[in-house]
Amino acid sequence: MVGRSNVGKSTLINALVRQKLARTSAAPGKTRLANFYRVAAESRPVFYLVDLPGYGYARGGEKSRQEFDALAAEYFSSRHAEEEPGGAAPGSRAPQFCGVLSLVDSRHPGLDADRIAWTWLSRMGIERHVVATKVDKLTRAERHRHLSELERLYSSPVTPVSAETGEGLDALWTLITRLLTRP
């Protein structure tokens, strides 16, 4: 999972697995390292959800931003060569991934940092999917307008979710399962 700081990556992981695994905070920039969560859900292959630090905010200023850039570049380049469905354990010989969930805050479609990250992942040749978080915070009119704008901007289907209400989690599980089981 990638996304801006405070977009809800850790909260979404907790909602998906229905337990508090990932540390969350109202303050942005709390996740400082890549955190690996082993998920063994019924009827799905065992896999790892990876919670990367958020981009676009750095409590430590320019140095923290550079550290994030280096971490992201190393993480994605070291796992891109030989993909295996479901990935592999951290530290194993072939730590691969099957796709990236690019989380964007549904209240703020089209932020430069999100679009830059999407383009960067595209240049790396990485399969990526837009997940719009915090949809429960939108009015019905905003929801339609913002989700349509996200689909237009990213030329991709958008999976709307709310970790707060649980809305969209089944659709997100369907997407994750498809990524894990594709040939």
Query: In the structure encoding, which two tokens stand for residue 121, read together?
Result: 């992942």
User: pLDDT (tens digit, 9 = 90+) per residue, 29-60?
Assistant: 556 678 888 998 777 788 898 888 888 655 55
User: pLDDT (tens digit, 9 = 90+) per residue, 142-152?
Assistant: 999 999 999 99
Share of the chain above pLDDT 70, in %: 78
Share of the chain above pLDDT 90, in %: 45
Q: Does domain 2-181 have CATH number 3.40.50.300?
A: yes
3-state secondary structure of 78: helix
**37: Cα within 13 Å, side-chain hemisphere:** 22
Compute the CA torsion angle 6, 133, 126, 151 (nearest 10 deg): -130
Q: Using CB atoms within 10 A of its CB, is residue 19 exposed (0-12), middle (13-18) or buried (19+)?
A: exposed
pLDDT for the residue 182: 82
